[in-house]
Copies of this chain bind each other. A is one copy, B any other.
Amino acid sequence: MPSAESPKLSRRRWITTTSGVIAAGLVKTQADAIQLIAQEAPTDPTKVPGRLVSEIGSRAPGEQPKRLIRAPALSSSSRTPLADLMGTITPADLHFERHHAGIPEIRFEDHELLVHGMVERPMVFRMSELMRYPQVSRIRFLECSGNGGGVYNRERMPTEVTVQALDGLLSTSEWTGVAVSTILREVGVRPGANWVLAEGGDSAVMSRSVPLEKVMKDSILAYGQNGERIRPEQGYPLRLFNPGYEGNTSVKWLRRIEVTDQPTHTRDETSKYTDPLGDGTVRQFSLVMDAKSVITFPSYPYVLPDKGWWEIRGLAWSGRGRITRVEVSTDGGRNWSDAALEGPILDKSTVRFRHLFEWNGRDTVILSRATDETGYVQPTVEQLWEARGIRTSYHQNHQRAWKIARTGEVTFGLGDLV
């Protein structure tokens, strides 16, 4: 085993050791053996032969980011570790999940998509047929409309909450597939059509209505994610992907599209995904995700080890188009400075922002707010309460704050600002 004690170990001996660990039944695969051996990294790695190539890579032993699951036995969602990530792309195995009845097992060869309703030629497509049509790829965010719901209620405002637990129902991927418009032109949409119904092949038969204008503009029948086939929990082998829309409309395991003149008012869009407003009315088909930003560093439970220059880092996005500006405040919202935005700034995708600030070692409250190309500015929680009342459960895109204590400890700070 490569260690400080045996720096001149030959590669042959090292391989034998790996095999020995496997043969002894301590571990099952070479990857596991490497993991075991790697616990004891050499003092000088240049004196020890390195590990060989592999068909599939694995993370470093010390780097094991994970999705957050709140109640493992029952949970229907898992959250992306936003504070562990850099840039904008979410590794596919860390993309957030939200299922209504679990992940169905579907074989690529068996799956079919029926497109019917107000069309000239109803058609059934097998996956191999869909993949023959012109292919498009787009880097876009996907966010659950319930993301951030944990910090909207004045009575239950947490302080010790991670950005993963709070806003981890957000991920970004390069999605690949066929434009919905390509397939709808193939079947021929009839006059009078205004909506489509998208139906999933899971045991919830999750179904949502989406405006025809939207799906003709930029929706995708997605079979690829970050270069590879879409993962089972993301809808394998096929999902509808509606850029900028609330996540649940991007129906997974898509098996049916029906072209209609009106929304279908499915169970999933009447019992859920509607927003009770302050005046007693209910907002329905609130489909677009409004502009939002979150600071991912520093955030709970990070502790700043000393004062001085630190870079505030975060993500901003808007379902209405491009982010044009992110501002950061380091004095609780009194003064704001423009953060630097990392290009390319893509339509309906996350953008990374950053802002250097000198922490003076005193109590400090930091916030961010995003503006998109429509001029929409991420609101304060007070503005959202005013506009939508306090009983609404979705689309809580208000500004988030983090408090930095004199000790360097960072906690969620919205409670103090209201």
Contacts and interface: CB of A to CB of B under 8 A. Distances in A.
A273 interface: no
Nearest to A76: B53
Interface in A348-369: 352, 354, 356
A375 interface: no
A105 interface: yes
Interface stretch (A118-126, A141-149, A220-228, A387-395): A220-228
A51 B202 CA distance: 10
Interface string A213-240: 0000000000110111101110011000
A132 interface: yes
A203 B46 contact: yes
Contacts of A309: 132
Contacts of A372: none
A45 B253 contact: yes
Contacts of A78: 53-55
A contact patch SS: loop
A202 B102 contact: no
B60 A55 contact: no
B229 A59 contact: yes
Interface of A: 2, 11, 28, 37-38, 41-42, 45-60, 62-63, 65-69, 72-73, 75-78, 84-95, 97, 99, 101-108, 110, 132-137, 139, 174-176, 201-203, 205, 223-224, 226-229, 231-233, 236-237, 253, 309-311, 313, 342, 344, 346, 352, 354, 356
